Homo-oligomer: A and B are copies of this chain.
Amino acid sequence: MILYDLVNAKRVHFSPNSWRVRLALLHKGLPFEVKDVLFTGIADIRPGGDKLTIPTIAHAGRFVTDSWAIVQYLDTTFPDTPRLLTPESMPVVKFFQYWVQTALHGPIARMVLLDLYEGLDPADQPYFRSSREKSYQTTLEALQAGREDRLEALRRGLQPLRLALAHHPYVAGEQPGYADYLAFAAFMWARVSSRFELLADDDPVHAWRERCLDLYGGAARREPVA
């Protein structure tokens, strides 16, 4: 099993969607090897084939791309390992992924993307700047400016997560599950890309993030911070 994952100039893995898959693989206890790629190297993973995105896994001679598709592939291909999704939980976990996208990825991008850009390999910087500035219709500098003023809104938006964590240590209950990996991966993206702190020390979400950092032998905590 190979996981193709993006790295910055310091070979640090920052892709939130890859962190989802990395934790999913650890959850299942599946051994895997990471192959580092740059944005500008994605096209070389499988020359001539359809365009892949990160994360992509290669397993048993096939490539599977997109975190949601990878998780389903892993559950199907390794039925004797702990499941990430069940038929009953899947649609609601998918909702949770959309919540993560709107409540976390959206605001966090506006707080860390310039920092992330500055940490990238110089070969990737022109692509990253032009693609993100086109997508956000503004410069990376303008996107990130004033982030302190948006911190309160980000934290307020975490209220459903905070309330859920009052009942049990993980979103998925007593043990971590894919919902945890979805939300935690967004925080990993920020953590390794920027020194801008998103959470107050006394926030239950902060304590949960610490628990996630410790999972699987501290796999996420070992990744160097920005």
A residues bordering B, Cβ < 8 Å? 83, 86-96, 98-99, 101-103, 159-161, 163-164, 167-168, 170-173, 177, 179
Contact = CB atoms under 8 A, between A and B. Distances in A.
Contacts of A91: 164, 167-168, 170-173, 177, 179
Contacts of A101: 160, 163
Contacts of A163: 98, 101-102
A171 to B, nearest CB: 6
B161 A95 contact: yes
B86 A160 contact: no
A161 B95 CA distance: 7
Number of copies: 2
Contacts of A160: 95, 98-99, 101-103
A103 B87 CA distance: 26
Contacts of A90: 173
A94 B161 CA distance: 10
A98 B159 contact: yes
Nearest to A158: B102
A211 to B, nearest CB: 15
Most B CB within 10 A of own CB, among A92, A159, A160, A177: A92
13 contacts: A83-B88, A87-B173, A88-B88, A91-B177, A91-B179, A92-B92, A92-B96, A92-B171, A92-B172, A92-B179, A95-B171, A95-B179, A101-B160
A73 B198 CA distance: 39
Contacts of A173: 87, 90-91
